[in-house]
Structure 1
Amino acid sequence: MQTPSTIRLLIAIVLSTTTMQVQAQAVKAGSSAKKIAATPKFPEFTMSRTEVEAHMRFLASDELEGRRTGEQGNRVAARYIAEQFRLMGLKPAVMTGSQQDYLQSIPFERVKAASMATMVVGKDTLLLGKDILVMAGGPTSISGEVVYVGYGLTDGEDGYKGRDVKGRILIAQGGSPDAKSPREIFGASATKRKLASEKGAAALIELYSEPTPWGLVSQYLNREQMSIATGDNSASPIAHLWINNANNKYKQLKEGGQHISFQTSGRIRTSAISSNVAGIIEGTDPKLKDEYVVLSAHFDHVGVGKQGGSPYQPTDSIFNGARDNGIGTVAILEAAKALTLQRPSRSILVLALTGEEVGLLGSRYYAEHPLVPLKQTVFDLNTDGAGYSDTTIISIIGLERTGAKAEIEAGAKAFGLNVFAEPAPEQGLFDRSDNVNFAVKGIPAPDFAPGLKSFDAAIAKYYHQAIDNPESLNFNYVLRFCQAYAHSARLIANRPMRPQWSAGDKYEAAAKALYGY
């Protein structure tokens, strides 16, 4: 393990090298506006493969130990990105008191997996993992009659209406009428827990029979999770469990007069800190500069050893995350540099996001605590991916939906790449990356991903695996990917009219509410 002094030395070496490269490029370009204007091509056309590789080799190095949210390697990555922004001359986007900063600090909590839980329902004894999962709460031992509250999502539902449920054990149907994706299912679950807690319930139990298989959610919940701290200083949330209700096995719990008992060790919470990193490039057009295009990518990954959630060898337990999402992080750094050297009409917010791998938490926090007004944010060009299996394409999730198809296709074509729309549709990728937290606010937000058409063996070989190291990358392709991303961003930021959702898109109503059209 590297000491803090070793990490600081590594950063200093990389920053020093990058400084010399920037100075050399400034001399070559003449460093004057007239010289840049006379250049026949934009700065992204002379992007340096060496610089792309240097960024990647630092961010996906063993020394950063998988950049897991809340861990030291993640904080080092955030500091590196922030100092790159400073070096390029981006304006800090965060105001802390009277001080400007690049780091948007987020109060996280580590939530450890439950070590024990049992429940007795009639003659059945339900066990942790196989039959029940612990979502939240501290150590609890309780028994009593249950109260069925329907989905338990609103105060007006029949289950809650006119009832005093203080101190009671509540039973709710899992998910919601509309929830399909894991994000929607977990979001509905959090809403239920909040309402049950506000009403003074002793416990909340959901009957889970949703599309995401029980085995997958069991694997996910039986390891450490991260959440955003609520600011509630109470000892712990109420006890909240899921029951595996496949084939409607425990439908009797929806009836009156049913008694249950359960014990759980709960999920212990401890505080952790991580940060988004944000910098601004001011636009050149007197009117359009008040509108912002966000360039976003998550820089966190999954950590070391058991944190990674996949098999690993004793000789290599670090999940470096070169593809996911080292490529995206380097792309926003390189785009920031190109767009700083020759600024576009609209302003740019360059946003490196933490907490994606633990539930899209950094982007969710940003959407609730924006650094530029959401109403003035006209587009988010997010870049994230599982890796690549085709170096002739880039893959765009949401290409036909988000109003910038022509610019993205032109940006790719300029560097000899084709565009493939909607890879692996069965995976529901649009709602699985940070772009969705912009979309739910109404902001058009596709995901700009490395070249894949399906989750084939070439993708699975590296996706969330310890062998996803810089040494395995095709840097000629990574360079062209970064160039295509930067040029697409420029073309979108220079559009006379802002992009809009396709008519009838499920996020169009949110856009109309946000922008007032």
Structure 2
Amino acid sequence: MQTSSLVAIVAGLVLTTGSLQAQTGSAKQTALRSKAPLAAKLPEFTISRAEVESHTRFLASDELMGRRTGEPGNQVAARYIAEQFRQLGLKTPPGQTDYFQQIGLEKVKAASSATLIMGKDTLRLGKELVVMAGGPTNVSGEVVYVGYGLTDGEDGYKGRDVKGRILVAQGGSPDAKGPGEIFRASAEKRKLATSKGAAALIELYSESIPWGFVNQYFSREQVSIPVGESGSTPLAHVWVNNANNQYKQLKEAGQTVMFRTSGRPRTSVSSANVAGIIEGTDPKLKSEYVILSAHFDHVGVGKQGGSAYQPSDSIFNGARDNAFGTVSILEAAKTLSQQRPKRSILVLALTGEEVGLLGSRYYAEHPLVPLKQTIFDLNTDGAGYNDTTIVSVIGLERTGAKNEIETAAKTFGLGVFAEPAPEQGLFDRSDNVNFAAKGIPAPTFSAGFKAFDEAIGKYYHQAIDNPESLDFNYVQKFCQAFAYAARLIADRPMRPQWSAGDKYEAAGKALYGQ
């Protein structure tokens, strides 16, 4: 670790949380126990408010400086989680000597200059274009239009040698709707263009994210998984604001351009997912896994946070997003290790969610247990809450474990609200989507909200999202419901299945051989 004082804090708080004694809970829980005597014998009832609060106050403390991926505070959070796993006796994943799944990343600074000249038009950085990737570049020549530029079979690529050429691609993809899908499609285009030896890639942007937000985002540092060979300079890649198809001439054969940019300076950094295993008790079912996932990173300090802040408080602590969820998987790890379920559990704390779902994306491509043996991902993440009588579940109706989730919530006095804020496209905006894309049923179990209202916006990615503002009685009940839902899913006789006709159903059938 780079900061000795932070390490000292970790060590002290690990010992503190380790010494906390299980508590029996409130009078309300006592009443619940009388109604559900069998469930009341489970360790979920011993989750204490004090322990929940202690974990949260550390993970969302100022000393961790917003837990930004690639920064020391993120590494300290990862170490804290790993030592909790060690204390609970979780096993390391197969082939691992510790709990860390290391990920090589890179920090990419904003470009300082860029121009694209075509005929009498000059497109400039921060106005009509943004630089996505690449080093210093100065190229000119005729462009080659490659359609969406996602496959070899598209007209622009089919049967053509584009080595050294300037490629133009349509923005997004036929299916890309949300920001995550748009960015993933863009990364795939760059990867394919790089493999073809192109000199540069110009993408005509006319997608749903307002251009002002695009400009703002690319004027800041990003963290990414490198594309292409290690140590190689990425392909120069720009987005051009093609609202109203104003630069349609870039698609035309014979169109010539001159492109020059300072590029985006890069530095290598590392981060890690944190993973531990609780082996199941059933001789047959223990070869199947339920993943419990939550991202532990947040957005950092000052300008890194991307939102307004005061000089007196520039740290984006991320108590709701997502110390809350991280504590939920820690508490579930504790209760499920005390009384193990039939199936095995992979407890997975993910890095890099705030910078592009990087930790879950990396895990999905480099799984620590076989994906075909992974029957479910119960993800937990959220922007906050505006209703402490419920939990909200994105994907509840789609992923085949509705009864278990509703039973668990009811046991701890909470209702379940399905598919909150549908206009936000939330299913595809959290780590669960990278599991879903592989075919694994993967809802997100969130703190209670029905809409993105003022109560949510007040704290979402804001510097005031501190532990002091949380209702820890609610956080305790949420953790209990999450842990019990995980147990019920891991114990159910049949695997959960995607709802018929769901857009991820085909991926599920391909993964599981159905």
TM over 0.5: yes
How far 1:39 sits from its partner (Å)?
9.1
Superposed CA RMSD:
1.7
**TM-score of the aligned structures, taking structure 2 as reference length:** 0.95
The answer as to whether partners of 2:227 and 2:234 remain within 8 angstroms in 1 is no
Could you say which residue in structure 1 is the equivalent of 2:76? 76
Residue 490 (1) aligns with residue 504 (2)? no
Q: 1:505 to 1:23 in 2, by over 3 A?
A: closer
Q: What CA distance in whole angstroms lies between the structure 2 residues aligned with 1:72 and 1:4?
A: 7
Could you say which residue in structure 1 is the equivalent of 2:221? 224
Q: What CA distance in whole angstroms lies between the structure 1 residues aligned with 2:196 and 2:202?
A: 15
How far 1:120 sits from its partner (Å)?
1.4
The answer as to whether partners of 2:394 and 2:445 remain within 8 angstroms in 1 is yes
The answer as to whether partners of 1:94 and 1:101 remain within 8 angstroms in 2 is no
3-state DSSP of counterpart to 1:15: helix
Q: What CA distance in whole angstroms lies between the structure 1 residues aligned with 2:41 and 2:107?
A: 48
Could you say which residue in structure 2 is the equivalent of 1:9? 8
Residue 61 (1) aligns with residue 58 (2)? no
Q: What CA distance in whole angstroms lies between the structure 1 residues aligned with 2:43 and 2:231?
A: 53
Q: What CA distance in whole angstroms lies between the structure 1 residues aligned with 2:16 and 2:469?
A: 23
- Pick which of 434-443 and 230-239 moved more: 230-239
- Pick which of 480-489 and 148-157 moved more: 148-157
The answer as to whether partners of 2:22 and 2:46 remain within 8 angstroms in 1 is no
How far 1:234 sits from its partner (Å)?
4.9
Q: What CA distance in whole angstroms lies between the structure 2 residues aligned with 1:394 and 1:386?
A: 13
How far 1:235 sits from its partner (Å)?
3.5
Q: What CA distance in whole angstroms lies between the structure 1 residues aligned with 2:124 and 2:226?
A: 29
Q: What CA distance in whole angstroms lies between the structure 2 residues aligned with 1:213 and 1:459?
A: 21
Q: Which letter maps to 2:493?
A: P
Q: 1:494 to 1:253 in 2, by over 3 A?
A: same
The answer as to whether partners of 2:301 and 2:316 remain within 8 angstroms in 1 is yes
Could you say which residue in structure 2 is the equivalent of 1:151? 148
Q: What CA distance in whole angstroms lies between the structure 2 residues aligned with 1:466 and 1:94?
A: 39
Q: What CA distance in whole angstroms lies between the structure 1 residues aligned with 2:2 and 2:211?
A: 41
Deviations 1:237-288 (A, max 9, x none): 1211111000010111111221111211111111001000000111111111
Residue 337 (1) aligns with residue 334 (2)? yes
Q: What CA distance in whole angstroms lies between the structure 1 residues aligned with 2:217 and 2:23?
A: 48
Could you say which residue in structure 1 is the equivalent of 2:451? 454
Could you say which residue in structure 2 is the equivalent of 1:30? none
3-state DSSP of counterpart to 1:91: coil
1:265 pairs with one of 253, 262, 267? 262
How far 1:95 sits from its partner (Å)?
2.9
Q: What CA distance in whole angstroms lies between the structure 2 residues aligned with 1:455 and 1:484?
A: 23
3-state DSSP of counterpart to 1:229: coil
The answer as to whether partners of 1:94 and 1:102 remain within 8 angstroms in 2 is no
Q: 1:39 to 1:459 in 2, by over 3 A?
A: closer
1:135 pairs with one of 111, 127, 132? 132
3-state DSSP of counterpart to 2:152: coil
Could you say which residue in structure 2 is the equivalent of 1:41? 41
Q: What CA distance in whole angstroms lies between the structure 2 residues aligned with 1:362 and 1:128?
A: 30
Could you say which residue in structure 2 is the equivalent of 1:21? 20
Q: What CA distance in whole angstroms lies between the structure 1 residues aligned with 2:383 and 2:476?
A: 17
Q: Which letter maps to 1:379?
A: F
Q: What CA distance in whole angstroms lies between the structure 1 residues aligned with 2:336 and 2:230?
A: 44
Deviations 1:114-169 (A, max 9, x none): 11111212212211122001111101112222121222221221112232222111
Q: Which letter maps to 1:385?
A: G
**TM-score of the aligned structures, taking structure 1 as reference length:** 0.94
How far 1:40 sits from its partner (Å)?
4.8
Q: 1:117-516 residue pairs with structure 2 within 5 A?
A: 117-230=114-227, 232-516=229-513
The answer as to whether partners of 2:109 and 2:265 remain within 8 angstroms in 1 is yes
3-state DSSP of counterpart to 1:95: coil
Structure 1: unaligned runs, 5 residues or longer:
26-36
How far 1:183 sits from its partner (Å)?
1.5
Could you say which residue in structure 2 is the equivalent of 1:34? none
Question: 4+ residue stretches of structure 1 with deviation over 3 A?
Answer: 22-25, 37-40
Q: 1:230 to 1:136 in 2, by over 3 A?
A: closer
3-state DSSP of counterpart to 2:368: coil
Q: Which letter maps to 2:44?
A: E
How far 1:24 sits from its partner (Å)?
9.7
Q: What CA distance in whole angstroms lies between the structure 2 residues aligned with 1:160 and 1:229?
A: 23
Could you say which residue in structure 2 is the equivalent of 1:93? 93
3-state DSSP of counterpart to 1:175: coil
3-state DSSP of counterpart to 2:439: coil
The answer as to whether partners of 2:357 and 2:430 remain within 8 angstroms in 1 is yes
Q: Which letter maps to 1:51?
A: E
Aligned residues: 502
Q: What CA distance in whole angstroms lies between the structure 1 residues aligned with 2:232 and 2:259?
A: 20
